[in-house]
Amino acid sequence: MTKKVLLSLASIFLIWQSFGLLSVIDTFRTDSLLFTIFMAWVINLFITGIFAFAGFAFPTQKLLPEKYYRIRNPVRLKKVYRALKVSWFRKALLATLWKSRSQRKKYFDGKREGIANLVEQSMKSEFGHLIPFVLITFVSGYLILIHSIELGIFSLLVNLIGNLYPIILQRYHRMRIQAMSVA
């Protein structure tokens, strides 16, 4: 089977798992904080995974208009980046998930010609975190409404770290590239 088919099947599987999990989520009652945190992580993993696998298989970033990806207010973006300490998140990624130089070169090879690939990959990555961020925010609100307050709060916290921070980081990368192309 081709890579696209396998990635599509993985995405469909996670859609099915997400619906299955969310359909019984109101039955989860536990006094275990560790289980609650684990379930919040699973909710985020499933929903984000849907869009990650789809993004690996297809140019999902093209579902949003090009103008969405242009940074119109770099001053505000820099303030948000600094206020949320996204640089710490970036350093943590480089020390763990992005430690491999070969993996980083898939996004940017260090050459001027590689900038276009970096921009495209940042848009793809941002889209892959944006839609899950919105969906998980709604799911977290729903969880709070059905009195699964701890699960809702932890789902939201995992969502902020796992989806909002990558969105801001990708926008920050493109802001810096835009500034270089203007200069």
137, 117 contact by CB (below 8 A): no
List the alpha helices (DSSP H) in the chain.
3-24, 33-57, 66-69, 74-83, 86-95, 101-107, 115-145, 149-159, 165-182
Half-sphere exposure of 157 (CA within 13 A, CB side): 12
pLDDT tens digits for 67-119?
Answer: 999 999 999 999 999 999 999 999 998 888 777 777 777 777 777 777 888 88
Q: Does the pLDDT value for residue 183 go beyond 60?
A: no
Q: Does the pLDDT value for residue 46 go beyond 80?
A: yes
pLDDT tens digits for 112-170?
Answer: 777 888 888 889 999 999 999 999 999 999 999 998 899 999 999 999 999 999 999 99
Tally of domains in the chain: 1
166, 125 contact by CB (below 8 A): yes
When pLDDT is cut at 50, 70 and 90, the band that residue 65 belongs to is very high
Which distant-in-sequence residues (6+ apart) come within 8 Å of 151 by Cβ? 25, 28, 36, 39, 40, 143
Domain that holds residue 85: 3-182
